[in-house]
């Protein structure tokens, strides 16, 4: 009887020892939010530096007019041995994570018949509506030295980020009026980078 009691006591002790580490290890596992750190049993919130606004960034790019619709006729950029390329440079003033204002100047070089010249200078300021994942919609006004004016909606996407620069690609739809020329609507491709 004494042996049975001792054996039962020993089995109970072994079972308790086997179960205890599982209970302890289950208590040690604790989920913490991804923006926190667990250190010596205490949970601390990670400090992330918030950008200070307003923030000013500059950018460089080039722009290719792909197609223009004017007077009911589509004209591609590379037709009749003629091509144009613009070189937008600008400054973005960012007022928050969601809003900013952009000032852009675009000199355009036109090559035709074996010669080239600067054919136009465009000033197109606009408001920037910034979204998640580097997507931005810019609503620009347009004032050209050729006498044309209008507006340009721009759909901009940052596709690569580094410490010093962000690379972007944009599609724009320039609408132009004035200077005794028919109204035109275009499709442009812009590629460039902003300085951080």
Please answer whether residues 91 and 58 qualify as being in contact, where contact means their C-beta atoms are separated by less than 8 angstroms: yes
User: Between β-strands 184-195 and 175-177, what pairing exists: parallel, antiparallel or unpaired?
Assistant: antiparallel
pLDDT at 182: 96
> In 16-114, which ranges are E strands?
36-39, 42-45, 55-70, 73-76, 82-86, 89-94, 99-112
Residue from 152, 154, 150, 176 nearest 69 by CA:
176
| Segment-wise mean pLDDT, segments of 10 residues, the chain, 196 residues | 60 63 49 62 66 93 94 87 94 96 97 92 98 96 97 97 96 96 96 95
Residue from 143, 115, 139 nearest 129 by CA:
139
pLDDT at 50: 75
pLDDT at 121: 98
C-alpha distance from residue 190 to each of 2, 20, 141 (Å) = 91, 65, 17
Q: Which domains does the chain have, with CATH numbers?
A: 2-45 (no CATH), 55-195 (2.40.160.20)
Computed on alpha carbons and rounded to an integer, the radius of gyration of the chain in Å comes to 32
Segment 68-97, tens digit of pLDDT: 999 999 988 888 788 999 999 999 999 999
pLDDT at 117: 94
pLDDT at 31: 61
pLDDT at 101: 98
């Amino acid at each position: 009887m004494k042996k049975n009691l001792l054996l039962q006591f020993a089995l109970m002790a072994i079972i308790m020892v086997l179960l205890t580490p599982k209970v302890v290890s289950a208590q040690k596992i604790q989920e913490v939010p991804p923006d926190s750190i667990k250190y010596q049993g205490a949970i601390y919130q990670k400090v992330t530096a918030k950008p200070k606004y307003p923030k000013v960034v500059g950018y460089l790019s080039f722009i290719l007019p792909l197609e223009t619709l004017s007077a009911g006729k589509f004209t591609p950029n590379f037709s009749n041995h003629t091509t144009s390329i613009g070189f937008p440079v600008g400054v973005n003033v960012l007022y928050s994570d969601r809003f900013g204002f952009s000032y852009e100047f675009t000199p355009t070089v036109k090559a035709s018949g074996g010669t080239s010249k600067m054919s136009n200078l465009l000033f197109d300021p606009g408001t920037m509506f910034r979204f998640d994942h580097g997507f931005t919609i810019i609503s620009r006004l347009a004032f050209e030295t050729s006498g044309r004016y209008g507006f340009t909606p721009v759909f901009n996407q940052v596709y690569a980020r580094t410490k010093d620069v962000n690379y972007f690609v944009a599609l724009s739809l320039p609408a132009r009026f004035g200077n005794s020329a028919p109204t035109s609507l275009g499709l442009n491709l812009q590629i460039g980078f902003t300085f951080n």
